[in-house]
Structure 1
C-alpha cells in the first residue's frame, strides 16, 4: 500500500548540489511485518534471512556495535544453535586490549562498528527513523501505525529509480523516491518553488540488486523480499525483547481485567444491603 508523506527537506548527506524548497514528498510503502500488532511475533526464518543479507551485503559498510553475537541464539530472535553462533562470530575479528592485538570474535563479543565513517550504525536504525508523520491518506497516523521506521528503511532500500528527465545527467547521487533529505536539482523545481518529483538524491548507491543472495530455505530473493528480511532483522536488533514485552503486557492486561471484575463484585456485595435499604437486626 503506497502512501505519500510530506516531510521537511534539509540539505544533505554529503551530496553536492542544492537541497531546496520547504517540503519534499516521499513515497513510503506500508509493509505488513509479522511482528506488528499486539499479538505479532518475529518470524525466526525471516530474521535468519535478514542476518544473511546484512552479513553478505550490509556489513561491508555498516556496523551493529550495540549487538552481541550471543543474542543470535535467543528465543524470539534468529534462534541460531550455539555452535552456529560460535562459527558465525569467528568470521569476524575484534581488538583485544589484553592481547593488544586482533583475535577471532567469540559469542561474548559485539558486532564490529561501521567500516566507513559516513556509514551509520544499524543497531538502532529501525527505531531512530520515522516513516509516518501525522495524518495522511485515510487519516491513519503515528497513533495507529507507529513511527514507521521499518517501513521507511524497506521503502528506502526499494525506492531507487531512474533519475527523472528534469535532472541533469551529472547531478551527484542516486535518485530515491523514499529519501526526502538529500540533494535536489534546481531544474526539478517549478516556478512556485515546488518539487516536481518525489524524493531526492542520496549518496548511497543501491545496496540490493535482487537475486544477490541465495537463501537456504529457497525463499524468494527479489529486492523487495530482501529489503523486508533485512529490515525485520534490523527491527529485532533495535527491539530484541519485543516479544517478552508483549507477553508481559498481555499478562498485565489479563491481571488488571481480573482485578477489575473482583473489585466490581466486591463493591456490589458490600453496598448491596445499603442500596436496598436493608438493616442489620
Structure 2
C-alpha cells in the first residue's frame, strides 16, 4: 500500500512538473491567429518564464499613452499610484505625485455641500477623455475601446498592438474605403478598414533619455506599457511559477528515490 501511494504521488508530481513547464513556455498569451497578414513577433523583454518588464520602456510607453492615446482612449483600471508599484514603471513617490497633480478631479461635497476641484492624487484613476461611451461615440463616430486590458483581449497581445500601430498603408484597389476610413490589414475586425487615423508620426513624442523616437520604437514602448496594464503582476507570477517548478522537481526527485528505496527493501 505504501509503495503504491508513493508511485501515485511520483506520477502526479511528474505530470504537474511537465504541465507547469508547458504553461511557462510563453507568456504572450497568443491565441489562434486571426485572418490577415502574419504579425512581427517582437522579442519582448517580458517574454518567457524569466521575462521582466524594461522599466525605461514602460516609462516611455506611459509618455506615449499620455501624449497620444489618452486623447481618445481611457484606461479605467489604472490608478496613478499603480505607476509607482513594484513590477511596473516604478516612478518614484514624488514623480507619481507630480504626474497625478497634472489633472483636476471633481471631489466633494465640502462642508457647505458644494462640489469642488482639486489636483489629482495617487488614488485617482487615469482621466478619461470623455464622460461616457455615448459622448465618445457622438464625438468620434464610435466609442474607442478602453486600453487597460487590450493587450490580453486581442489575439497576439502586444505583437498585435505593435503591428496595428505600424501597419497603416494604402488600401488595395479591391477594398472599398468609406469616407474618413483608413486601411490597416492588421485591424482585428478583419476587413482592414479602421476609423482611427495613424496615431503616431516620426518624432511625435519627445523622449528625454536619448531613445530614438521613431514610429516603430514608440509603438513598441506603448505596446509594452499596455501589456503591463493588462498584466501588472506578470513578474510576480513568473517568480511564483519558477518557485513552484523547482518545488515540483525536488518533490519528484524525492519520490523517485523513495520509490527505489521501497523496491530495494522488498528485494
TM-score normalised by length of structure 1: 0.73
Aligned to 1:98: 109
Q: Tell me which residue corresponds to 2:83.
A: 72
Shift in alpha-carbon separation, 1:249–1:167, aligned structure 2, 3 A:
closer
Q: 1:174 to 1:104 in 2, by over 3 A?
A: same
Q: Which structure shows the bigger proportion of residues in strand conformation?
A: 1
Aligned ranges for residues 219-234 of structure 1 at < 5 Å?
219-234=211-226
Q: Would the aligned equivalents of 1:172 and 1:201 in 2 still touch at CA under 8 Å? A: no
Q: Which runs of 5+ in 1 are unaligned?
A: 8-23, 131-147, 183-198, 277-281
Distance in 2 separating the partners of 1:98 and 1:244 = 39
Whether 2:113 is the aligned partner of 1:88: answer no
Confirm whether residue 63 of structure 1 aligns to residue 63 of structure 2: no
Q: Greater helix share, 1 or 2? A: 2
Match of 2:126 among 111, 117, 133: 111
**Aligned residue among 245, 248, 256 for 1:264:** 256
1:34 aligned residue:
45
Aligned pair 1:254/2:246, yes or no?
yes
Specify the SS of the correspondent of 1:29: coil
Whether the 8 Å contact between 1:27 and 1:155 is mirrored in structure 2 is: no
Deviation, structure 1 residue 211: 0.9
Question: CA 1:86 to 1:203, structure 2 compared with 1: closer, same or farther past 3 Å?
Answer: same
In structure 2, the gaps of 5 or more residues are 1-31, 131-135, 138-142
How many aligned positions are there? 222
Residue 210 (structure 2) pairs with residue 218 (structure 1): yes
Aligned equivalents of 1:206, 1:58: Cα separation in 2: 11
Q: CA RMSD in A?
A: 2.0
Q: CA deviation at 1:166?
A: 4.4
TM-score of the aligned structures, taking structure 2 as reference length: 0.77
Higher relative contact order (CA 8 A, sep 6+): 2
